[in-house]
Chain A
Amino acid sequence: MWATARRMASHRTFTSPALKFELVAQCSVRMTCTTRARASILTLPHGIVNLPIFMPVATQASLKGLTPEQLEATNCRLCLNNTYHLGLKPGQEVLDAIGGAHKLQGWNHNILTDSGGFQMVSLLKLANVTEEGVRFLSPHDGSPMLLTPEHSISLQNSIGSDIMMQLDDVIVTTCPDKVRMREAMERSVRWLDRCIAAHKKPESQNLFCIIQGGLDLDMRRECVRQMLARDTPGIAIGGLSGGEAKDDFCKVVAACTELLPDLKPRYVMGIGYPEDLVVSVALGADMFDCVWPTRTARFGNAITKHGVLNMKREIYATDFGPIEDGCGCPCCRPVDQEGAMGVTRAFVHHNAAKETVAAHLLTLHNVWYQLDLMRRAREAIIQDRFPAFVKEFFANLYPDSSKYPSWAVDALRGVGIDLLET
């Protein structure tokens, strides 16, 4: 307790107009733990967020069937909205008339928005990137449209998100074209300058840069240096989770975090598998987002510490246990506790793919699991037992240690955790 208190007293803090970042604990400064994992407190315009954190994705200003009240009850204090989707529905005019996305969805905590660039590339096959912006066909009438850094920022200003992302030139990391990759990286830097210039509310909204450069570590390092020179309040590592090998993913994250300053939040975009989260925390990342936990819930899948369970399988038809034993979510927590529903696997099985309620229940459970995983990682970092946490996490997931994914073993060995050591 005293040791913790002493550490708390010596927090190092970074402040910018709309953000405060306090580093609470760090593995790498201690002899017992050599990973780059960090625990910190991020203060945003809509309240405090403890890092590391997983941010569930409320694509169209709604977390897939959960009421904002239910989302709040999972202890979520920062969720995502997608600029591309909100730009189409309800549209910028409506957002301006209502007074932003917080007011639209009745969510009084923090919101992070992406730039819309990723959807241009992932959803619209015929998008074309030029120096001016992303050209695409309007899904409304097929007419050519242009998303520029200025337009993206203007939309995000209308949304009023606490954290906005710059428009970046996203190409798949596995793209073999080095010239195009360099062009994308350098263009992303130029677009950041345009985003900063277009940003109208720096006192109430934070703009994060996005590091690009594909899988080329030198290009990534160069991008980091150029982005850091622009001094944004937070830094994102982008372009990943696009089908690259996990080894490469880890190398990129590690190469970037090595160069990043301690006192700024680091956001790895688009990752959400529990293993990826835990390894990325060890590599020094703080923030993550992904639609997978909520999407897989709608397919009837529950995330548990022993892996993903498909509730549609017949074996769960007469399984009257909770979705996950020991889980504290409103579905699973013991029935004598406050707010417990007493939902069984059998009930979820009964309604999976049949009633929306089953999807809502699994969404609630999965979001809770992801947030709780990061909360426990944070506790472990603060209590100086993060390596033990990581080992326990993998032991739960893979009963047989020979099945550990080699990318995770290698990545963790690089930061001083030997998963296979007994």
Chain B
Amino acid sequence: MTVDNQDSGSPAMRFEILKALKDGAAARVGRLAFAGRLPIDTPNFIAITSRGAVPHITPDNAEKHLKTTGAYMALEDFIERPQQYLKRTPPIYQASTTPKHPTRLHSFTATPPSVTTILSARRLPAVPAPMGNTTNAVSVFTSTGFQSLTTTEYHSAVEALRPDIAIPLADLTHTTTTPNSKRALRMAERTDEWTVEWFSALSNSNVSTFAPVLPIPYSIQWEYISRLAEDYLPTGQLAGLALYDADVLPDLESHSPSLLPLPRLAFTNPPTPHHILRQISLGIDLFTLPFLNQISDAGLALSFTFPAPPDSKDMPGPQPLAIDLSHPTHATSLLPLSPTTTNCACYACTSHHRAYIHHLLHAREMLGWTLLQIHNHAVISSFFAGVRATIAEGGADALEQATKRFATVYEADFPEGMAERPRARGYQFKSVGGGEGKRNKPAWGKLGGNEDGNGEGKTEERGGEEEDGIVKAVEEMAVEEKEGR
């Protein structure tokens, strides 16, 4: 099925399917373009921001070095209510726009105008809310705590911020467990109601709506999905689908084929590139990849390519998906971050080497995470370019072969990553039952005298341990001194 000049609803958006491997839910290459933004060749991914910034990446670095042209933003990152200013209007609604920053969302976050913005209510991944959603509001988690976000508030936020893609509210649990059928039914009903409300409220034609498809069986949400297909697709109000589970796609193919030409954005949280490949074969066009930011924080440099490199005798056995740069073997390595076979051309690989990143991770210098983010986003970007080329030049068999080979050449999971992580913030994590323990060792001890965070030890030590060393040593000396007198 080749659909040229597909007009998928919003006048501001254009989605062309350049090649589809078969009719319906299957891998395809396309191009998603929004007025004023750089077009996105699909399959592809968009960067996930935290509080409007890709973690560790300043806007200048994002523009120069981050090989992605989309940014996912969560409204909950912008609407906190500080204790002393409970009544304040979230500042982002008052931001002014300029030719360089054409929307409030771009302007407030200093996002370059070439970047396509996607606005949704919750962060990716979202922290589950203890009190759940109500009939007209979802629970969101801001930097000042949980609060509820009503459907009307969300509508006016979208009108004010004018993202290129907006995801209407969906009644989601944000847990890994599958909801029981009663809860699932309520999810479908509420999302259905909210979507009706959404389309009647939204007047801005510059915002393209990607309607949520819930992570529940098609049989429970069929009513909602057929409403999308029958009521909002013909009017052009529905521009795309936001899937929380890629496995709903085969059902869409059989029951609502009219929705198939729409671009498909995934909030499926694939844990590895193997999962990405599977979801591409199911027909996902655009991914959000929460693992990327986590991998960089863990001190890991992605090291895979697609298609996988040809067999060589030097590399027996399955190859790792990522290299743990905190490992002592990299202390003096002047190699680029990922193996030379990957030919990574990112700023981190061309200007720096493993020994530097190793040192930065060891010294807990923030630049380490910046360079890893640049590298990891570049590797994923090349991965998707490889997938597109395989589909465009090869077709279904080539993609299947290359995917199979990828699965045998590379390990199934990412390595653990022994480096210490950046400091965690409250809006990123929520204690579930308490007693999880701290992720990082304490930076300061009792009798420090090391206010610069300088309790460091020798190179072969893992970060953190030596800090106990100095405190202990100083304490011992203090005791000796006292006794001496």
Q: Can you pick out 26 interface pairs between chain A and chain B where the beta carbons lie within 8 Å of each other?
A: A61-B359, A62-B360, A62-B366, A63-B367, A64-B367, A65-B365, A67-B347, A68-B351, A70-B61, A88-B457, A89-B363, A89-B458, A94-B332, A98-B355, A104-B356, A106-B351, A138-B457, A291-B452, A330-B60, A341-B58, A342-B100, A346-B92, A347-B110, A355-B55, A355-B425, A357-B55
Tell me how far the C-beta of B328 lies from the nearest C-beta in chain A, rounded to whole angstroms.
10
Tell me how far the C-beta of A142 lies from the nearest C-beta in chain B, rounded to whole angstroms.
3
Per-residue CB contact flags for chain B residues 37-76 toward chain A (1 = under 8 Å, else 0) read 0000000000000111101111111000000000000000
Q: Is B476 located at the chain interface by the 8 A CB criterion? A: yes
Residues of A within 8 A of B355 (CB): 90, 94, 98, 104
B427:A354 contact, CB within 8 angstroms: yes
Chain B interface residue number, banded: 35 or more
Q: Is B143 located at the chain interface by the 8 A CB criterion? A: yes
| Residues A137 and B477 in contact in the complex (CB < 8 Å), given A67-B367, A85-B454, A354-B427 | yes
In order of increasing CB-CB distance, the 7 nearest A-B pairs are A142-B473, A140-B457, A65-B366, A97-B332, A357-B53, A139-B470, A91-B459
Q: Is B88 located at the chain interface by the 8 A CB criterion? A: yes
| Residues A344 and B51 in contact in the complex (CB < 8 Å), given A354-B143, A356-B422 | no
| Residues A354 and B359 in contact in the complex (CB < 8 Å), given A88-B456, A94-B332 | no
List the one stretch of A20-28, A213-221, A358-366, A404-412 in contact with chain B: A358-366
Q: Is A124 located at the chain interface by the 8 A CB criterion? A: yes
Q: Pick from A90, A354, A357, A359: contact of B57, CB below 8 A.
A: A357
Q: Is B474 located at the chain interface by the 8 A CB criterion? A: yes
List the one stretch of B77-85, B300-308, B309-317 in contact with chain A: B77-85
A90:B362 contact, CB within 8 angstroms: yes
Tell me how far the C-beta of B445 lies from the nearest C-beta in chain A, rounded to whole angstroms.
11
A85:B109 contact, CB within 8 angstroms: no
A354:B469 contact, CB within 8 angstroms: no
Q: Is B95 located at the chain interface by the 8 A CB criterion? A: yes
Within 8 A of A (CB), among B355-388: 355-356, 358-360, 362-363, 365-371
Q: Pick from B332, B347, B454: contact of A119, CB below 8 A.
A: B454
Q: Is B274 located at the chain interface by the 8 A CB criterion? A: no
Q: Is A177 located at the chain interface by the 8 A CB criterion? A: no
Q: Which residues of A contact B (CB under 8 A)?
A: 59-70, 85, 88-91, 93-94, 97-98, 103-106, 119, 123-126, 137-142, 291, 314, 317-318, 320, 330, 335-336, 339-344, 346-347, 349-351, 354-357, 359-361, 364
B367:A65 contact, CB within 8 angstroms: yes
Q: Is B466 located at the chain interface by the 8 A CB criterion? A: yes
Tell me how far the C-beta of B136 lies from the nearest C-beta in chain A, rounded to whole angstroms.
28
Tell me how far the C-beta of B216 lies from the nearest C-beta in chain A, rounded to whole angstroms.
34
A106 to B353, CA, bound (A): 9
Residues of A within 8 A of B52 (CB): 347, 350-351
Residues of B within 8 A of A342 (CB): 59, 98, 100-101, 107, 110
Q: Is B299 located at the chain interface by the 8 A CB criterion? A: no
A330 to B108, CA, bound (A): 16
Q: Pick from B99, B110, B458, B472: contact of A344, CB below 8 A.
A: B110
Q: Pick from B110, B427, B473: contact of A139, CB below 8 A.
A: B473
B98:A142 contact, CB within 8 angstroms: no
Q: Pick from A142, A340, A364: contact of B58, CB below 8 A.
A: A364
A189 to B166, CA, bound (A): 69
Tell me how far the C-beta of B52 lies from the nearest C-beta in chain A, rounded to whole angstroms.
7
- Further 13 A-B residue pairs, CB within 8 A, beyond A90-B331, A350-B51: A62-B367, A88-B456, A90-B355, A90-B358, A90-B362, A119-B454, A137-B470, A139-B456, A142-B472, A350-B91, A355-B51, A355-B425, A360-B56
Q: Is B449 located at the chain interface by the 8 A CB criterion? A: yes
A309 to B313, CA, bound (A): 60
Residues of A within 8 A of B367 (CB): 62-67
A320:B94 contact, CB within 8 angstroms: yes
Within 8 A of A (CB), among B442-466: 449-452, 454-459, 461, 466
A139:B469 contact, CB within 8 angstroms: yes
| Residues A357 and B58 in contact in the complex (CB < 8 Å), given A123-B449, A140-B457 | yes
Q: What residue in chain B is nearest A103 (Cβ atoms)?
A: B334
Q: Pick from A69, A330, A356: contact of B347, CB below 8 A.
A: A69
Q: Is B352 located at the chain interface by the 8 A CB criterion? A: yes
Tell me how far the C-beta of B42 lies from the nearest C-beta in chain A, rounded to whole angstroms.
28
A65:B457 contact, CB within 8 angstroms: no
A67:B371 contact, CB within 8 angstroms: yes
Q: Pick from B56, B91, B332, B457: contact of A98, CB below 8 A.
A: B332
Tell me how far the C-beta of B64 lies from the nearest C-beta in chain A, rounded to whole angstroms.
8
Q: Is B96 located at the chain interface by the 8 A CB criterion? A: yes
Q: Pick from A103, A343, A360: contact of B110, CB below 8 A.
A: A343
